[in-house]
Chain A
Amino acid sequence: MTAPMTTPQTSAMAPAVTAQPFEPLILGFTCNWCSYRAADLAGTSRIKYPDNVRLIRLMCSGRMEPEFILEGFAKGADAVIMTGCWPEDCHYRIQSVKALRRFLFLRRMLSDLGIEPARLQRFYASAAEGKRFADEMTRIVAEVKALGPIPPEIRVTLAAEPAAPAPVAEPVEVEA
């Protein structure tokens, strides 16, 4: 009587596999002068935050090319965060505002492409605001978890290879 037992076993195991909680992958951009140092300060202050975010350092948040963000989404990020100096103490005086303009434009275009605004986040952090940096990371990760993954019909990654179409039967050639 082994046969009947297999069924419950397999079905009992099934939920365990699907029960994995969604852990978003998030790409974060910092400027060299304020927000990256805020991240450093969060570290030196040992303030904990979720490990979903991976950071890239730019010299200035105004260096941000929208292509970087799209590349992030294309390569599997569930959300992207832009951070930088408070406009009033931007190391490059007024460049942090350029980042704001691109952010608003891009967020609108992304939502027109089906990517929720909440997946493109943005905040300021001065070099003294390690706590703020960690708090924002925690907040954003929670928000993105609530959103869930980006549906595959919205994002195609470069890895995506088209399914080679099933070759259709070739008519046998006969002499005319």
Chain B
Amino acid sequence: MTAPKTGVYICHCGTNISAMVDVEAVRDWALDELGDKGVVVSRDYPFMCSSLGQELIEKDIKEYGLERVVVGACSPHMHEKTFREASSNAGLNPYLAELVSIREQVSWVHTDKAKATEKAKAIIAGGVYRVAEHEPLEPLIAPVNNATLIVGGGIAGLTAALEIAKAGYPVHIVEREPSIGGHMAQYDKTFPTLDCAACILTPKMVDAGAHKNITLHTWSEVVDVSGSVGDFKIKVKHKPRYVVEADCTGCGICWEKCPVQVIDTGFESGLGYRKAIYTPFPQAVPKYPVLTPDDCTYFAKGTCRACEKFCPVDCIDFTQTDEFVEFNVGSILLATGFQPFDARRIESYGYGRLPNVFTSMEFERMSNAAGPTGGKIVLRDGVTEPKAVAIVHCVGSRDKNTNEYCSAVCCMQSLKFAHLVREHTKADVYECYIDMRTPGKGYDEFYNRVLEEGTQFIRGRVAEITDSLRYPEEEGHEGRLIVQVEDTLAGVKRRIPVDMVMLSTGIEPQADATEVARMFGVGCSSKGFIIERHAKLDPVATMTDGVFAAGTALGPRDIPSSVSNGAAAAATILSRIAQGEIAMEPYRASVDTERCSGCRICNDLCPFSAITFDEMAMVTNINPKLCQGCGVCVAACPANAISGSGFSHHQIMAQIDGLLSYPGGSDGRPVEEAVGATA
């Protein structure tokens, strides 16, 4: 068979590539050296991805009757689709065009232009060799179920849910807490406008609770995801509330009568109390309470049943157990949120040891009028107002020992706290920061406002918070806290006596983030933040078709960007629903039953259950609907009976040969050896 007519196109990417790769040399080399591999035309262009660049290719396909196209430019993850479309516009099957990366893999990572150019040639050769083995393919079409699963009922998830529901499509929200609302419901004020969080959040919660297209699964968790792109099968566990939701009116008598006081480590961050049966907060949605058996006297001793006795509608049911519901959706949005950094991990800050060291979450509850202190800012004793308060930035952020990243919200929340302290008390406020980060609308203005309010700003990371006085001048400060910090602007070490310290804790992924990511088949960083399909151009999609993410599950961000994430995800999902079907890469494995020996080596290799064995015919079959195209069975088949479209044995072998064909052996040393040569 003669080599197919192939066109080679080298992109300068402005100077991104051409600065480190001699693109003209590569262009000429391809035409001179790869002629026997079918290269009939080779061009370079400043921006291949531009419409003019694409027209160049389309024109050649028509004029030269090209059968294959190889583009040397950026990563396929960036522009593979672009060049495939260009090819199919010119009547060439899109899968006969190959994009190989000479930018991410060459010009951006190497420093020796001569060698980078050599490597670029080899990569082009790899593409040319490979694409010759390609065959025309058609994308696989799958219908999209118009229902959506949203995991997490925080502000990001709620926003998306309402957008999709309003558009008229069914939404399931799964929230593991008793109520939707997420962390935002715990906040008092929101920066920089200082409007109350509850006031702007609760209406959305109510809407979501009431909307006919939205099904709430609170106090619930997703336990299994199966099926495939376009039609996922979801299994949800409803944990028992011990309350019959159908009958409950949310009157609240049960928790009034319940004799058991429990420290509320959840919503109230340990500052307040709840009962064994409770709703986390007055505006909770849904309104039904939750009974926690670990706290309940009846479950411990078999007596009490106060709630049951007093319930006017007899909706208490101690016999409830886990319930499982199943439903199918076409799209999934992961809005699983974050957990605050656990300040105990930095022992030198004394949280948990020194009573008057507080975390941001505690402070949010304390300053909240509906909170445990009724909005009074007081020490642990609950009565004493602080005369001096220190606010420590970057707790669990920008720190090699904990998290290297910036949590994005701490600076603003700290400024907010400074303002609130000044507002509620006459205390002096010291802000210890590393850098003041106030990007965003109205943020820096708020910074200036707090400056003017007289808060003292100390540039430096706090070294230690202690209650032991070391120096004579600290006499008289017994019982207070000393904040030791180096003022890097004044260049002095300071030990500041205060009554209260507020640790501005950072944002971390949920403890079970990686398990969740695995269940939904999405990639996440080793920390647990979900990885976007493209950080800039596709920021709410994941690498798994049909699964999206929004809010702090993707990484630290504030309320406005979480909300816009949610809206963006909703828009993306709606457009998929509107299309009704989606095209998938036609990368699938298939069995040549003539060649299959029925050895059953492959039978247990597929995690998607695509492989089945026909006992009668003694051959293996692969279900293309379930196959995800990983190719594990192709590589395992000893009879060479399974082949994989798109990543076939011959294509990869050809690419290997191409990549290594130039400049030949390593450091150009001849790899030939006279095997026949006699010893």
Contact = CB atoms under 8 A, between A and B. Distances in A.
Direct A/B contact, Cβ within 8 angstroms: yes
B587 interface: yes
Contacts of B523: 33-34, 85, 89, 91, 126-128
Given A64-B635, A92-B630, A58 B653 contact: no
Interface residues of A, number: 72
The bracket for how many chain B residues form the interface is: 35 or more
Interface stretch (A8-16, A17-25, A109-117, A168-176): A17-25
A36 B100 CA distance: 12
B105 A92 contact: no
B109 interface: yes
Interface in B640-679: 644, 646-647, 649, 652-653, 655-657, 659-661, 664-667, 669, 671-678
Interface in B478-514: 514
Contacts of A71: 653, 656-657
B514 A89 contact: yes
B666 A149 contact: yes
A44 B109 CA distance: 9
Nearest to A85: B523
Contacts of A127: 523, 531, 543
A97 to B, nearest CB: 10
Contact of B104 (A23, A39, A75): A39
B632 interface: yes
Contacts of B664: 76
Interface stretch (B111-119, B195-203, B340-348, B571-579): B111-119
Contacts of B118: 51
Contacts, number: 206
A132 to B, nearest CB: 9
Contacts of B657: 71, 75
Contact of B518 (A42, A77, A93): A93
B126 interface: yes
A54 B76 contact: no
Contacts of A47: 109
B524 interface: yes
A86 interface: yes
B631 interface: yes
Contact of B123 (A54, A64, A66, A134): A54
B673 A152 contact: yes
Interface string B522-562: 01111001010000000000011000000000000000000
A15 B327 CA distance: 75
Contact of B109 (A46, A56, A67): A46
B675 A46 contact: no
- The SS class assigned to the A binding surface is loop
Interface string B77-106: 110000000000000000000000101111
Nearest to A151: B673
B667 A54 contact: no
A76 B632 contact: no
A4 interface: no
Contacts of B632: 60, 62-63, 92, 95, 98
A75 B126 CA distance: 13
B605 interface: yes
A65 B635 contact: yes
A146 interface: no
A88 B518 contact: yes
A164 interface: yes
Nearest to A60: B630
A75 B656 contact: yes
B675 A160 contact: yes
A81 interface: no
A92 B644 CA distance: 16
A44 B546 CA distance: 26
A129 B526 CA distance: 9
Interface in B344-379: none
A51 B122 CA distance: 12
Contacts of B677: 162-163
A112 B103 CA distance: 38
Interface of A: 20-25, 27, 33-34, 36-37, 39-40, 42-44, 46-52, 54-60, 62-68, 71-72, 75-78, 85-86, 88-89, 91-95, 98, 102, 126-129, 134, 149, 152-153, 155-157, 159-165
The 6 closest A-B pairs by CB, nearest first: A162-B676, A43-B104, A63-B631, A25-B666, A62-B632, A60-B630
